[in-house]
A and B are shown apart, each in its own frame.
Chain A
Amino acid sequence: MDGVTTAGVRATARIEAGDDGRGGTSLPVLEGQGPLALRRVRGGGSEARVMLVGAMSGPLGGDHLTVEARVGPGARLRGGSAAATIALPGQTKGEARYDVRLDVADGGELCWLPEQLISAGGSELSVSVRVGLMGGARLVLREEQVLGRVGEEPGRLTSRLTVRRDGRPLLDQELACGPGAPGGWDGPAVLAGHRALGQLIVVRPEFEREMPAARPFGEYAALTPLAGPAVLVTALAPDALLLRRVLDNALGDLT
């Protein structure tokens, strides 16, 4: 890592997953840095499993963390995190950035299921998740945001999720909330007081032939087929536990 400076921490973690030629997945690159430590954990079948372990608290204001994962043809990678990520205010002014770049080749599969991101009071964090898929790639990606720890007002959080498939946009969504966010974010059109929100995107080439139908999951969640072989589940909930239950149910329905 470049080190801890007054400007905050700069760190990048890299994962590369490839077909090992024996029906499994190898990890030719598995490099953590600073607060981003990576561990390979026991996987099931042909998939490799990687756990992101937070080695320092944060991101704090001024930090810039990047996680990059590339999944090659025929490889299967499951990524998770050992605990929730908590955005906290830093000693330096300014926002923290957390960038995630995920690329999956034809015949590759990525399940990216990190734990929640918690936006603690006074924090400022900008998250960007960019996914690039080849046409034959498969993806399950979950994002969960919790606005504030228990009984706490949230920090400022901006989160953008962009998924491209064969270079074409498949999903592009940004959410801004907390103090200083554009007006109405907590109102009747956007979050209506909910403090946990999540998105689950599932991309499968076979959806080209048969797309799941749109359906609600209660009053505050829905599964929606996108304009491509993918579905998005959007969910709001009072807390992280109830949110996870909705997203798990929706994923269970799809598999």
Chain B
Amino acid sequence: MSRAALLVLADGRFPAGGHAHSGGAEAAVRAGRITGAASLEDFCRGRLHTSGLVSAALAAAAALGADPVALDAAADARTPSPALRVAARRLGRQLVRAARATWPCTELDALARQFPKGAHQPVVLGVAARAAGLGPEDAAYCSVYECVSGPASATVRLLSLDPFDATAALARLAPELDVVAHAAADAARRALADGVETLPAASAPLLEIGAEAHAAWPVRLFAS
């Protein structure tokens, strides 16, 4: 495994369109639930332990070679909000394009063929990690990090929050990112034996409700 390949995949500048999404932060800022660095950190913590864990486990399972079709159905069942399902598929489609150009392989080609409208992004992320020679922990780390870095950088723009404060919040979350990434990889290994339905399903009601409200806004800065 190449440690540098992990940096390439995890880089926020990897051309997969993630910067257009706030991970629910735009809705939370508008609703007054994120007002500064402390509430941003709490938002990210809640997201990390819910949809973050779920996404990371899906990514890790895909990196281990679990069936992407079964994983995509599991992702659908764990995403009640249609706005979030659409966003996840759009991000998945963009990521599969970037990943095929970066790490050409038959598995990514097959994934693009099977899901012309895009598979859920964590599933694509896991297959991309596999194509890059990375393992389930790597895929889970990429996933949990983007789960918190997305809302943090969005909040810097939305609230004109000091970027140093936002980055410090991410650094304070680092030990929990480690815990969740390893838990996700462990869950993915168990799911290979016990079936993908045993993957984590932690949910965050306000992320789902907020995403639907956000999708109905006439004007917004972020796609989700």
Task: Report A's interface with B, CB cutoff 8 A.
Answer: 160, 162-164, 168-176, 182-185, 187-192, 197, 214-216, 219-222, 224-227, 232, 234-236
Which residue in B42, B43, B46, B209 is a CB contact (below 8 Å) of A220?
B209
CB atoms of A188 and B43 under 8 A apart: yes
Q: Tell me if A's interface is mostly helix, strand, loop or mixed.
A: strand
Max chain A C-beta neighbours (<10 A), residue from B28, B53, B209 = B209
CB atoms of A192 and B206 under 8 A apart: yes
Q: 18 A-B contacts, Cβ less than 8 Å apart?
A: A169-B73, A174-B203, A182-B49, A183-B176, A184-B43, A184-B44, A184-B49, A185-B46, A188-B206, A189-B24, A189-B33, A189-B204, A224-B208, A226-B80, A227-B79, A227-B85, A234-B208, A236-B206
Max chain B C-beta neighbours (<10 A), residue from A162, A172, A174 = A172
A187: chain B residues at CB < 8 Å are: 39, 42-43, 45-46
Q: How far is the CB of B103 from chain A (nearest CB, A)?
A: 29
Q: Which of B60-68, B135-143, B159-167, B194-202 contacts A (4 or more CB under 8 A)?
A: B194-202
Task: Report B's interface with A, CB cutoff 8 A.
Answer: 24, 28, 31, 33-34, 39, 42-50, 53, 73-74, 76-83, 85, 176, 197, 200-209, 212-213, 215-216
Residue of B nearest to A188 (CB): B33
Q: How far is the CA of A197 from the CA of B209 in the complex (A)?
A: 12
CB atoms of A169 and B46 under 8 A apart: no
A168: chain B residues at CB < 8 Å are: 73
Q: How far is the CA of A176 from the CA of B216 in the complex (A)?
A: 29
Q: How far is the CB of A217 from chain B (nearest CB, A)?
A: 9
CB atoms of B50 and A190 under 8 A apart: yes
Q: Given A183-B49, A187-B43, does the pair A170, B77 have CB atoms closer than 8 Å?
A: yes
Q: How far is the CB of A33 from chain B (nearest CB, A)?
A: 28
B82: chain A residues at CB < 8 Å are: 214, 224-225
Q: How far is the CA of A170 from the CA of B76 in the complex (A)?
A: 8
Q: How far is the CB of B59 from chain A (nearest CB, A)?
A: 17
Q: How far is the CA of A190 from the CA of B85 in the complex (A)?
A: 18
Q: Given A214-B82, A214-B83, does the pair A222, B76 have CB atoms closer than 8 Å?
A: no
Residue of A nearest to B207 (CB): A189
Q: How far is the CA of A171 from the CA of B206 in the complex (A)?
A: 17
Residue of B nearest to A183 (CB): B45
Q: How far is the CA of A172 from the CA of B77 in the complex (A)?
A: 5
CB atoms of A189 and B50 under 8 A apart: yes
CB atoms of A216 and B201 under 8 A apart: no
CB atoms of A162 and B24 under 8 A apart: no
Q: How far is the CB of A135 from chain B (nearest CB, A)?
A: 15
